[in-house]
Structures are given as structure tokens and as C-alpha cells.
């Protein structure tokens, strides 16, 4: 009887220690495609070893995180990176929903050669060097 009682007390204390960590779950959406799930986006907690990717439904989960304040970074090739400050608390799961937008690229201004430059190629080469 004493062994059974000791075993139950031991199991109960283990379960109390297991609840001192938190988790972050969430979904990442593609804002360019009417909020469709974004597949295989990278989700990481900055300056830690915690990193994962979203699944086919845009969902991710990072568990066993020590309580504290962190920055969650969500990236995907061709999209703007997004950083979210989060506070992880013991035995709680933080729910995050975030959309990413495609990067906008600007091209340098293009100039065209005039008729005089085309007739004299040496002038065209020197004007490009300027």
C-alpha cells in the first residue's frame, strides 16, 4: 500500500514539473492569394534553437518553450518577413494568426539612346561610363 501511494505521489509531481513550459501555435496566410494558407513558411523564435515550418494548411506549432518574452519571426521566399513580439507563459499555448505580403521590387530608371548616339557608337560607350 505504501509503495502504491509513493508511486502515485511521484507521478503527480512529474506532471506538475511538465507544465512549466509553454507553446506557440498558429496559422500563416498568403495575403496576396485571398488569405490562402502559406505552405512551408519558416517560423522561428529569434536567438533560440526553436524553428519549424508551416504544414499544408499553413499551421505551425512550437512547444517546450521556457516562459519569457521572445520575437517570433515568420519568413517565406519572395515575401516580406514579419516579426511578432510574444510572451510565453507556463502551461499556456499562445495562438498566432499572421498574413504575409509579397515583396515589392523597384527597378532602376532606364534611359534610351537617341538617334545621334546610335550613329556614333564611341559616343554611346563614353556616355555609359559617366
The pTM of the full predicted model, rounded to 2 decimals, is 0.68
| Each residue's pLDDT tens digit, 25-65 | 999 999 999 999 999 999 999 999 999 999 999 999 999 99
| Model pLDDT for residues 83-104, shown as the tens digit of each residue | 999 999 999 999 999 999 999 8
> Helix or strand or coil: residue 9?
helix
CA gap 93, 61 in Å, rounded: 9
Whole-number mean pLDDT of the chain?
A: 83
CATH top-level class of 20-100: mainly beta
What residue spans define the domains of the chain? 20-100
Separation between Cα atoms, residue 64 and residue 84, nearest integer Å: 19
**Distances in Å between the alpha carbon of 130 and those of 107, 115, 123, 124, 127?**
20, 19, 11, 10, 5
Whole-number pLDDT of residue 82? 96
Residues above pLDDT 90, as percent of the chain: 64
Query: Do 61 and 96 form a contact (C-beta atoms < 8 A)?
Result: no
Amino acid at each position: 500500500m505504501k509503495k502504491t501511494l509513493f508511486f502515485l505521489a511521484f507521478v503527480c509531481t512529474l506532471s506538475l514539473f511538465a507544465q512549466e513550459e509553454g507553446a506557440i501555435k498558429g496559422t500563416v496566410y498568403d495575403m496576396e492569394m485571398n488569405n490562402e494558407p502559406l505552405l512551408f513558411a519558416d517560423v522561428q523564435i529569434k536567438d533560440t534553437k526553436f524553428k519549424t515550418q508551416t504544414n499544408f494548411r499553413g499551421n505551425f506549432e512550437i512547444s517546450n518553450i521556457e516562459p519569457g518574452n521572445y520575437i517570433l519571426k515568420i519568413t517565406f521566399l519572395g515575401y516580406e518577413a514579419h516579426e511578432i513580439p510574444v510572451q510565453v507563459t507556463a502551461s499556456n499555448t499562445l495562438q498566432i494568426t499572421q498574413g504575409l505580403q509579397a515583396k515589392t521590387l523597384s527597378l532602376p530608371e532606364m534611359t534610351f539612346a537617341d538617334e545621334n548616339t546610335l550613329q556614333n557608337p564611341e559616343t554611346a560607350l563614353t556616355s555609359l561610363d559617366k
